[in-house]
Amino acid sequence: MSRIIDINKSIFELCREYPEVPEILSSLGFKDITKPGMISTAGRFMTITKGSAAKGIDLEIIKQEFIRRGYEIKE
């Protein structure tokens, strides 16, 4: 089964689909994602694309990390 990350889906949706997403994002600098309640509140409207811009983390680095971990990227 192929694991596909749609970078324009909400973080909330991605985490429900792939429980390891918060750990991956945290390792890339999204430390707030691990705070209690963040996924169920801000995560409902935040996407990887929006989060990348807000945190100043290069979107290409994020994409490469997901690819390295066996995901395909959908934009």
Residues 52-66: pLDDT tens digits? 999 999 999 999 999
Other C-beta atoms lying within 10 Å of the C-beta of residue 35: 10
Residue 17 lies in a domain: yes
CATH number at residue 12: 1.10.3910.10
- Closest listed residue to residue 21, CA positions, set 68, 66, 64, 60: 66
Residue 53 lies in a domain: yes
Strand partners, 52: none
Residue 74 lies in a domain: no
The tally of domains found in the chain comes to 1
Residue 75 lies in a domain: no
Task: Give the tens place of pLDDT for each residue, 7-61.
Answer: 999 999 999 999 999 999 999 999 999 888 999 999 999 999 999 999 999 999 9
Residue 2 lies in a domain: no
- Closest listed residue to residue 63, CA positions, set 12, 14, 7: 7
